[in-house]
A and B are shown apart, each in its own frame.
Chain A
Amino acid sequence: ETGVTQSPTHLIKTRGQQVTLRCSSQSGHNTVSWYQQALGQGPQFIFQYYREEENGRGNFPPRFSGLQFPNYSSELNVNALELDDSALYLCASSLVGTGGLWDYGYTFGSGTRLTVV
């Protein structure tokens, strides 16, 4: 299967609830990253997983957590949702080798639009 798929596409949650977003990486990719994009802004890096280990984290609190599975699919979990968590959440995968990122960059999914009310 080619491309990155994310589910669900849209989600409405209540403040204080917990949410799990899912991502299926492109076949052959070993790295997955999650980004949060607020309206009118560029995406902000949340964290990255490389071969199931966290490999970098942005300026997000611990209530944002993630997992990468052996088949390179991934989850983003957010606990104790706040109104400011409303955003588009993007998953991106790539193949990173010893020479770094390949020339085709990251492949992004279409995102999950999360609304916290």
Chain B
Amino acid sequence: SQQGEEDPQALSIQEGENATMNCSYKTSINNLQWYRQNSGRGLVHLILIRSNEREKHSGRLRVTLDTSKKSSSLLITASRAADTASYFCATVSQGGSEKLVFGKGTKLTVNP
């Protein structure tokens, strides 16, 4: 079963604009990760944020985590056509194995 729900399901923007994707989840987590997937290929890890962190940056990416609301957001600034992909949030729950529980993803299209 899916843990996270990404919102929106699809997003279309112009190059240079910012893209914001949201993720909600259901259980207590150890960490939350964002992945990108191009055209049904393998996933690429973007960023990991731990449950005791509130914000993290990596290049043009900014991730926030609100554990009280069980939600996270991914902001991509100054988007490029190459950012066109599906973006997934994935959670790792407290205790047990380090398995990832994915949402259904947000399909981002960046128009040149």
Instruction: Report which A residues bind B (CB closer than 8 A).
Output: 4, 31, 33, 35, 37, 39-45, 48, 50, 55-56, 58-59, 88, 90, 92, 94, 96, 100-101, 103-111, 113
Q: Which residues of A contact B99 (CB under 8 A)?
A: 33, 45, 48, 56, 58
Say yes or no: A43 contacts B41, CB within 8 Å.
no
Q: What number of residue pairs across chains A and B have CB atoms under 8 A from each other?
A: 77
Shortest 3 CB-CB distances between A and B: which pairs?
A56-B97, A42-B102, A105-B45
Say yes or no: B48 contacts A45, CB within 8 Å.
no
Instruction: Report which B residues bind A (CB closer than 8 A).
Output: 1-2, 4, 30-31, 33, 35, 40-45, 48, 88, 90, 92, 96-105
Bound Cα distance A41, B35 (Å) = 14
Q: Which residues of B contact A109 (CB under 8 A)?
A: 42
Question: Quick one: given A42-B104, A101-B92, are A108 and B98 in contact (CB under 8 Å)?
Answer: no
Bound Cα distance A43, B90 (Å) = 9
Question: Quick one: given A88-B40, A108-B43, are A45 and B98 in contact (CB under 8 Å)?
Answer: no
